[in-house]
Structure 1
Amino acid sequence: MPVMNAPSTPSVEPRSEGFDRVRAALRERDHAHEPLWLTTSARSAQEAADALGVSLGQIAKSVVFRCKADDTAVLVIAAGDRRVDERKLQVYTGPLGRADADFVKARTGFSIGGVSPLGFAPADAGAGPRLFIDDSLFRFDVIWAAAGHPNGVFQMTPQQLVGLTGAPVIEVMQS
């Protein structure tokens, strides 16, 4: 499905380390769409939707939690118009706590507002975050996720997101 009000064109020069990692990860996986560099920041799902001219739900927002049992990061990719129900998520993860900006950066390699579902930096502790995809994204033909920087985004289908990440699809949105 074509995007109305197409955003800025793809960047030919790297804009940030995180953006470069995501671009490389997409190329490694032969993804059809290069990440785009927006002329405005898209730190929130609403800002991204406005910049792209799409509905809020089409933004695949990244929500990071801190697993209390082992201090690992848990990353949920969810529709921008929905809220994660921590109680539902804890069925899969155990008790969760809030993740501050330093924790998010250390565990994903991205700053809040640019956390991508792929292209994680190697963490000091080893593995990247535990990743889940909420089924609320499957309402849409086309979705957009952060590409490693608040100005970076990339396009895909929900099915492509599953293929790119290998993450399980679960239902964890508030009713």
Structure 2
Amino acid sequence: MTTTYAALLRGINVSGHKKVPMPELRTVLGELGHTRIATHLQSGNAVFQSDGEDEGALAAELERALHERFGFPVDCIVRGGDYLAAVADACPYPAAELEGKQLHVTYYDRPVEEERFASLDAQAFLPEAFRIGDRCLYLYAPEGLGRSKLAEALARPRLSKGLTATTRNWNTVAKLVEMTRV
């Protein structure tokens, strides 16, 4: 059965480092046998169709291929379109009322327990807030991610240790849902 997936690459094309041109990303995905490939923005978002059913295996295969092509490691998370839609639908914040830069989703490679963040004094960061979802974290940052003290705290090594994570603003979340519905 063919499934539509999104590949979310972490930390590429930032300040001229770890350059992965989107045409080459599309080529790599095609060489892996995937079809109906499209990219969104330059920050590492690709949609493709595959007969593969294991998201982790698809991500590992893409990571290996990217490392071979570009000579540096690139963490990838692969998620099916149904999952992306479910994450958007489960958002605990009023997405329709917010600007895309105010709401973010951090996707994780595995489930994350709320206990991981228990040491964080969430009240100290108000009005910023976060909620844990299905292999994701929703972040409300009214001033945007770049100015978010809560985002900075959530990314600290002791809280993110052992996880692969990548964050997308709500505009990108919505666009990926749209792209995977085709």
TM exceeding 0.5: no
Structure 2 length normalisation: TM-score? Answer: 0.29
Q: Which one has a larger percent helix, Structure 1 or Structure 2? A: 2
Higher relative contact order (CA 8 A, sep 6+): 1
Structure 1 length normalisation: TM-score? Answer: 0.30
Which protein has the larger Cα radius of gyration, Structure 1 or Structure 2? 2
